[in-house]
Amino acid sequence: MRKRIVAGNWKMNLDHREGARLAGEILGGLKNRVPQCEIVVMPSFTSLHAVGEALRGSCVSLGAQDLWHEESGAFTGEVSAGMISAAGCRYVLVGHSERRHILGEGRDLLSEKLRAALKGGLSPIYCVGELIEEREAGRAEETVSRQVEEVLGGLDAGGMSKVAIAYEPVWAIGTGRTATTGDASGMHGVIRDLLSKLFGRGTAGETPILYGGSVKPDNARALLSAGDIDGALVGGASLAGDSFLGIVFPT
Ligand code: PEP
């Protein structure tokens, strides 16, 4: 059965004390409940250690929001896959829209980062998604397909087995606008068909495809029960224990 994941991307929020407190709140809310998904929290680099300590021995996994693709050296300000893994992370985001569109990251760099994550033993969550202009011009599927193929194309089945994809329409991130369940599920189907062409049906069927873009407790149930949606990548609503848990356990 395909893995389901709900991941909280804390972005540039919460210092290490606040992060450890939120981790404690999440663990408190999990007592005597069995989540139907893997839960991941992705604090900033400076909070990884403290949050990792707070989560030690629990079922909640740690992830980082980004990495640099070189193993070490003169790359001031950057953090390698090895460092992230040593800090206790299993997951790392690659290609989040804020890195694509604010920091200008594109195909070549994202390919290198994704391969460095795999080489360093991390599971990348590779983010794709169209801009509003691309959707309005009828080019959403073409954009997302290109983003999938240009970075994931050429991976072997072993590599792909560690990858999850997050479909996050850029116009839905942090805006309160959510894709309709049908639109999201339709795009997930497009991605899965493409994975099938690139890697075969077996690998395509095993790859988790998460939805991201203003997921909240009140829309989580509809989104997470739609066909081909295997979980959520959550920004704003992951910053408070009750709203994040309301997505992990949607009602
Ligand atoms: C995100 O940053 O990946 C995201 C989906 O943010 P939000 O949930 O706030 O839209």
At 174 the pLDDT is 87
Ligand 1 pocket: which of 233, 244, 248 to mutate (most atoms within 8 A of CB): 233
Six token digits for residue 198:
């690139």
Nearest ligand 1 atom to alpha carbon 93: 3
Residue 88, pLDDT score:
97
Which whole number is the average pLDDT over 77-83?
Answer: 98
pLDDT tens digits, one per residue of 178-210: 889 999 999 999 999 999 999 999 999 999 999
Q: Is the pLDDT of residue 172 over 90?
A: yes
CA pair distance 29, 104, nearest whole angstrom = 38
Question: pLDDT exceeding 70 applies to what percent of the chain?
Answer: 100
Give me the residue label for tokens 């680099």: 45
Report the percent of the chain where pLDDT is more than 90.
Answer: 96
Q: What is the pLDDT of residue 249?
A: 97
Q: Residue 83 half-sphere exposure, CB side, CA atoms within 13 Å?
A: 16
Rounded Cα distance, 10 and 57, in Å: 21
Mean pLDDT of the chain: 97
Tell how far the Cα of 213 is from the centroid of ligand 1, in angstroms: 5
How many Cα atoms occupy the beta-carbon half-sphere of 199 within 13 Å?
A: 24
Task: List the one residue out of 230, 241, 240, 251 whose CA is nearest residue 6.
Answer: 230
Ligand 1, atom nearest to 168 Cα: 5
Helix 241-248 vs helix 217-224: angle between axes, to the nearest 10 degrees?
A: 20
**Set 38, 98, 130, 168: catalytic member:** 168
Write down the pLDDT at residue 46. Answer: 98
The tokens describing 208, both together, are 């988790």
Q: Is residue 215 over pLDDT 90?
A: yes
pLDDT (average), residues 80-101: 98
Q: How far apart are CA 84 and CA 79, in angstroms?
A: 7
Q: What value does the mean pLDDT take over residues 8-35?
A: 97
1 pLDDT more than 90:
no
Tokens for 167, please give them.
Answer: 């479909």
> What is residue 68's predicted lDDT score, i.e. its pLDDT?
98
Judged by DSSP in three states, 166 sits in strand
- pLDDT tens for each residue of 98-156: 999 999 999 999 999 999 999 999 999 999 999 999 999 999 999 999 999 999 999 99
pTM: 0.97
d(CA 101, CA 127): 12
Closest CA to 122 of 152, 94, 156, 151: 94
Q: What is the pLDDT, as a whole number, of residue 39?
A: 98
Structure tokens at 75: 């790359």
DSSP of 175-189: SS----HHHHHHHHH
Residue nearest atom 6 in ligand 1 by C-alpha distance:
235
